[in-house]
Amino acid sequence: QVQLLESGGGSVQTGESLRLSCTASASTGDGYCMGWFRQAPGKEREGVASINTRYGVKAYGDSVKGRFTISQETAKNTVSLLLNSVKPEDTAMYYCAARWTTWAGNCGLRETAFDNWGQGTQVTVSS
C-alpha cells in the first residue's frame, strides 16, 4: 500500500496555469503507474493523465491533450500535473492514483486499474 498526498490546487482564472503535485510514500521510480483523475460535482470520475514511471510512457484524456502535462521527479517520489490554458470545465477535485507494476507500456486511464488513491485537491477555474 502506498500513501499519496496531493498539493497545489487552488482558484485560477481562465487561461492561467496551475501545477499539481502528488508525493508518494514509496519509491515510485521502481515501477509504478501513476495517474491523475478528476471529478466535478454531479459527474463521474474522469481519467486525466497517467505515466509509467519506469518507462516514461504517458497517456492523456482527450479533453486535456495539448494543455496538461504529466511529469515525474523520481528522486522526490513525486508526479506532477501542469495545467495550462485552463477552462471553467476543468473545475473539479483532482485525485492522484497509483499502482505498482512491471508493465512496460501505457498505463491507461481506467479508474479500476489503480488501487491507491489520494484525498484529492480542488481546482476551481473562474471565467
- pLDDT tens string 1-49: 899 999 999 999 999 999 999 999 988 877 899 999 999 999 999 999 9
| 8-state DSSP, 78 | E
What does the pLDDT read at residue 26?
Answer: 86
What does the pLDDT read at residue 63?
Answer: 97
What does the block give as the cell for 120?
484529492
Distances (CA, A) of 17 to 12, 36, 81, 91: 8, 16, 11, 13
